[in-house]
Structure 1
Amino acid sequence: MTAASPATRPPLSAGLGAASALSVVLIWAAWLISTRHSVGTSLTALDLSLLRYGVPALLLAPFWLRTGLWPRGTPKWTLVLMVLGSGAPFFQLVGFGMKATPASAAGVLLPGVMPLAAALIGILLLGERPDRMRKLGMLAILAGGVLLLVDNLSSGRLSWVSYTVLPAGATLWAIYTHAFRKSGLSAFEGGALICVWSTIINLALIPFLGTHLMTAPIAETGLQFITQGLLSGLLATVLYGTAVRSLGGTQAAAYTAVTPVAAAIGGALLLGEPLGVVTIVATLVTGAGVLLSTGLLSARAGR
């Protein structure tokens, strides 16, 4: 089946895009905390990935069955980049980095870096020209991330894995963001295809890596079923696709800079990770950066 081009799809409102993006922030924060919590359980990164993509692949089956695994009219390179950037390869890379990284620091190095990576790709490769307000927003997001990073550096809790693997994962997600924007797929179609291809990859890895899903305690599996499969895998994927369709790749990515703040607060409340003055200051700086990067103030200034 041929996927509709972006031009033939009805436009989505900016309000819907903003609401979708902010909802994704909360879900991603829960995902970071849940993934970090899984480090002390019997579930492996492959187990989490099976839940993360297998559950929505089943629930979204009507969409990928309708489009086919290689939708006509969709450039194959965009689908490959989408699966690479937000599918099983992305998850395995991030899962490796999360093992040695507190939720607060992971929030900085993963979703905190992603808006900057998305903006750089947009500027350097896609010819985007952000105005002064949005540039200030990017700088504020960077400053907020640096503040949180310095705070974690002083504690000596991070290794080279955290500093290299998670930013690489953030770059992959930024690539996915722009590839999805170019694909012409709807949020449901894109999410369905990413999940079904990722499930195929994960199933192929079971003979080599094994799985503990059938032997892990039900409480562990149930928690990850909800956070990985239903919230992050299904709901966040569709909501983020909606945000990208409505706001554009770079602007949708800017909202995710709030995730480090939510992850830091959640990590403090649920995992007992420290939450100090630096985190609070970084919260305010990052929030201001997101407000500027969305372009809302640019639109008002232009009136």
Structure 2
Amino acid sequence: MVAISPEINKSASLAPGYAGALVTVFIWATWIIATRHSGGTHLGTIDLGLIRYGLPALVLAPVWLKTGLLPRNVPLALLAIMVCGAGVLFFQITTFAIHSTPAAAVGVLLGGSMPLAAALIGVVLFGERPDAARWLGLAAIVAGLAILLTLAIGSHQISWVSFVFLPFGALLWAGYTHAFKRSGLTALQGGALIAVWSFIIHLVLAAFFGTTIMDVPLSEIGLQFLSQGVLSGLAAMLAYGIAVRSLGGSQAAAFSALTPVLAAVGGSIFLDEALGVWEIAAAIITGLGVALSTGILSHRVRT
């Protein structure tokens, strides 16, 4: 007779978290490509921010109206970290950098840095102690990212803006990940609060600096509405919230290491960026690193 071990039952309970994390990284890769594309239009970072957070703020209005803009049980510091880390500050600095950075390099410097930043915060601030498998996984992620980054540097297409702003964005997102985990909010509540506060701040920015949305063709607005508003602003935020709640902050963030691979492939298909043997090797190494760092390969069936 085959006995199902407790680890298998645990794996089943973590399935929504794994699904949410995978959905998130696929959307992130799409977001990188769409944002790169927007650099050739009249849309500025403020315009994209209005699109990104306007739709989820509207759709999730019943949620944030119920919780209030300043929920009593959520410390202001945690809420501020969440809004900055996954909202207005994160969006503005990363979008600015993405406009001048190849998609494959964005995946490395932003998505690839997220699990490392999340793990570092977890170890230093919260006393997390990753086991040997997770350390090995993180090391594999570093190796995969190093390959992609070396290739990106060799192309001479990356400026200091990319090297400073994108890793800083990864650090902001890692901070949000841990703050949300400790906020006590649900994925819907967290996504709603981040969306409404970020939209309000973008409205203020638009009032001071203006907007060019009315000068852009409807086809381009539609593309960004789908990518920024529906997918990134709404679907990915909720999916990632589910992943953090189910897997924990560091493990959920580890899935973002797949973003460089997806961004490189997407850049090759849609933006005519190179994809060769070394990119494929980096994809395999990084994928194994993700599997190890999230504990997927540690589950066993005992007979």
TM-score class normalised by the smaller sequence: over 0.9
Does residue 96 in structure 1 map to residue 129 in structure 2? no
| Pairs within 5 Å for 1:1-303 | 13-300=13-300
| Pair 1:294–1:155, CA change in 2 (3 A) | same
Runs of 4+ in 1 over 3 A off after TM superposition: 298-303
Q: What is the CA distance between 1:276 and its match in structure 2? A: 1.5
- Corresponding letter in the other structure for 1:286: T
Give the CA deviation at 1:209: 1.7
Shift of 1:301: 10
In the aligned structure 2, how far is the partner of 1:288 from the partner of 1:164? 27
Quick one: structure 1 residues 134 and 62, their matched pair in 2 at CA, closer, same or farther if it must change by over 3 Å? Answer: same
Q: Return the alpha-carbon distance in structure 1 between the equivalents of residues 28 and 302 of structure 2.
A: 33
Given residue 238 of structure 2, which amino acid in structure 1 is its aligned partner? V
Q: Distance in 2 between matches of 1:194 and 1:67?
A: 12
* Aligned-partner residue type, residue 208 of structure 2: F
Alpha carbons of structure 1 residues 302 and 179: separation in structure 2 relative to 1, 3 Å = farther
SS in 2 for 1:292: helix
Deviation at 1:72, TM superposition (A): 1.2
Q: CA RMSD in A?
A: 1.4
Residue type matched to 1:260 in 2? P
Shift of 1:13: 2.6
- Distance (whole Å) between structure 2 residues aligned to residue 145 and residue 97 of structure 1: 18
CA deviation map 1:229-266 (0-9, x unaligned):
00000000000000000000000001111011001000
Partner amino acid, structure 2, of 1:104: A
The separation in 2 between residues aligned to 1:249 and 1:111, in whole angstroms, is 15
Segment of structure 1 superposing worse, 33-42 or 12-21: 12-21
Q: Residue in 1 aligned with 2:7?
A: none
Paired amino acid for 2:272: G
* Residue number in structure 1 paired with 2:8: none
Task: Name the CA distance, whole Å, in 1 between partners of 2:87 and 2:237.
Answer: 10
Query: In 2, Cα distance between the equivalents of 1:78 and 1:99?
Result: 30
CA gap 1:207/1:295 in 2 versus in 1, 3 angstroms = same
1:296 and 1:274 mapped to 2: Cα distance? 31
- How many angstroms apart in 2 are the aligned matches of 1:80 and 1:123? 22
Provide the C-alpha distance between the structure 1 equivalents of 2:41 and 2:13, rounded to a whole number of angstroms.
42
Letter in 1 for 2:168: A
Tell me which amino acid in the other structure corresponds to 1:216: V
Deviation at 1:283, TM superposition (A): 0.1
Structure 2 unaligned regions, length at least 5? 1-11
Q: Whole-Å Cα distance in 2 between the matches of residues 155 and 277 of structure 1?
A: 16
SS in 2 for 1:100: coil
Aligned partners of 1:168, 1:300: CA distance in 2, in Å? 38
The alpha carbon displacement at 1:269 in A equals 0.3
How far does residue 296 in structure 1 lie from its aligned partner after superposition? 2.2
Partner Cα separation in structure 2 for residue 192 and residue 28 of structure 1: 19
Give secondary structure in 1 for the equivalent of 2:111: coil
Task: Provide, for residues 124-167 of structure 1, a one-character-per-residue CA deviation record: whole Å limited to 9, x for no partner.
Answer: 11000000000000000111111000001111111111111100
How many residues in Structure 1 have an aligned counterpart in Structure 2?
292
- What one-letter code is carried by the residue in structure 2 that aligns with 1:129? R
The separation in 1 between residues aligned to 2:136 and 2:301, in whole angstroms, is 14
Change (3 A) 1:104 1:71: same
Letter in 1 for 2:205: L
Deviation at 1:302? 11
Q: Indicate the residue corresponding to 1:9 in structure 2.
A: none
Tell me the alpha carbon deviations over residues 59-87 of structure 1, each in whole angstroms, 9 at most, x when there is no partner: 00010000000011111111000001010
| Secondary structure class of the residue paired with 1:43 | coil
Measured in 1, the distance between the counterparts of 2:250 and 2:161 equals 27
* Shift of residue 208, structure 1, vs aligned partner: 2.2
Structure 2 residue identity aligned to 1:118: A
Distance 1:102 1:294, change over 3 A: same
Q: Which moved more, 1:293-302 or 1:192-201?
A: 293-302
Structure 1 residue identity aligned to 2:115: P
